[in-house]
Amino acid sequence: MELPPGIPASWYTVGVSADLSPTNMLAITVAGIALVIYRTANGELCCVEDRCPHMGGRFSAGGSVRKDELICPVHHFRFAPNGDCRGSGYDTPAPKACTRPWPCLDRNGLLLVYFHPSGETPGWEPPELDNGAWLPMRMFQRKVNAPAQIVMQGIADMGHLRTLHGYEDVQMNSPFKTDGAQLTVTYSFTNVGSLPGLDGSIIAGPIKRLGEKLQTRTRVKFDYLACGIGYSVTDVEIPALGVAMRHFVNPTPIDAESVTLFHSMALRRIDNPGQISAVLAALPRAWTQALMRFVLLKGFLHDIEDDINLWTHMRNPQRPALAKGDGPIFKYHKWSRQFYPQQIA
């Protein structure tokens, strides 16, 4: 199925919640549009275009947030969270000088902004997750020369788990299910490769022994959740070791052919280190968790690099010639079309 061109309507990641404190702002770009996202003194999240409607000053170039007002650095025009102009450097408001608030969310530790090609408001949001068992995430971001559609397609590309990442006995354990803007699926596979950096070339001792254990034939489970074309979370579990990770892999469009990729990993708190290794059971819990995060993060970043190389050089043909073993690519494309309203009659 051929997908339409353009940037899909979706919630997109623009930062990490903990990095934006009250009365501070962050300059961001979504779909080529310069925006500024900020918190009021009471923590309310707001987002507007990074241009003052008065004479075009940039809020992010010296502006400020005082109480609940965003203030332009040029003529000190002051704007309420709803966009109304409350005043200026001349002590008089300009009723026609109003900003347009953009839909934004502080959700699951991420700052999200909604983009729609026609400026429509969202009819859905990514769900709240249970974050109580997870340690703080480590977030990375970089430019990737690939459309958001290609990045997110990996959720349905069952074949690449074997051919690109080298996993064996890949199975779909729950149906590829769509429910409005949400998509879920569960895969499992056997990891038989070594983790980069754990082959003894740069480390030794307990970390090397831990790496050797993780290089054995270990069964891994992936629980995927996608919400639109900009938000995905994967809970990864290694049942034999009692270890789990949570990954966000979220592409935010710069334009139709490139994205800022926000990708992160959080480790679930480890309840039984002895299930992993007798050595870890003797260590303080904080050391154990730091060590496991180090080990698993290297593997995650290695896989992401492989994916980025794939995404950069891959574009969907108009009529993909699919084969058995590809996974539910057709179903993914069919689900994706709803996020391209400019092409839907």
- The DSSP code sequence of 64-95 is EEETTEEE-TTT--EE-TTS-EEE-TTS---T
What's the pLDDT score for residue 222?
Answer: 94
User: Which of 101, 114, 121, 11 shows the shortest CA–CA distance to 49?
Assistant: 101
Query: Quick check: 195 pLDDT over 60?
Result: no
Q: Which amino acid is at 137?
A: M
Percentage of residues in the chain having pLDDT higher than 90? 66
* Residue 38 and residue 25 in contact, taking contact as beta carbons nearer than 8 Å: yes
What is the pLDDT averaged over residues 216-239? 92
Query: Quick check: 288 pLDDT over 90?
Result: no
Query: Quick check: 2 pLDDT over 50?
Result: no
CATH label, 10-115, candidates 2.102.10.10, 1.10.8.100, 3.30.470.20, 1.10.150.650:
2.102.10.10
Query: Quick check: 205 pLDDT over 70?
Result: no
Residue 327: which pLDDT band, with cuts at 50, 70 and 90?
confident
* Residue 155 and residue 311 in contact, taking contact as beta carbons nearer than 8 Å: no
What's the pLDDT score for residue 201?
Answer: 41
Q: Which residues contact 330 (CB under 8 A, 6 or more apart)?
A: 1, 320, 322
Fold of 138-336: Naphthalene 1,2-dioxygenase Alpha Subunit; Chain A, domain 1 (3.90.380)
Expressed in angstroms, the distance from the first to the final Cα of the chain is 17
User: Which of 183, 189, 142 shows the shortest CA–CA distance to 165?
Assistant: 189
Query: Quick check: 213 pLDDT over 60?
Result: no
What's the pLDDT score for residue 202?
Answer: 40
What is the pLDDT averaged over residues 204-222? 66
Angle, nearest 10°, between helix axes 285-312 and 206-214?
A: 50
Query: Quick check: 197 pLDDT over 50?
Result: no
What is the pLDDT averaged over residues 25-29? 96
What is the pLDDT averaged over residues 201-224? 65
**Structure tokens of 344?**
């839907």
| pTM of the complete model | 0.91
Measured distance CA(137)–CA(177) in Å, rounded? 27
Query: Quick check: 206 pLDDT over 60?
Result: no
Domain locations along the chain: 10-115, 138-336
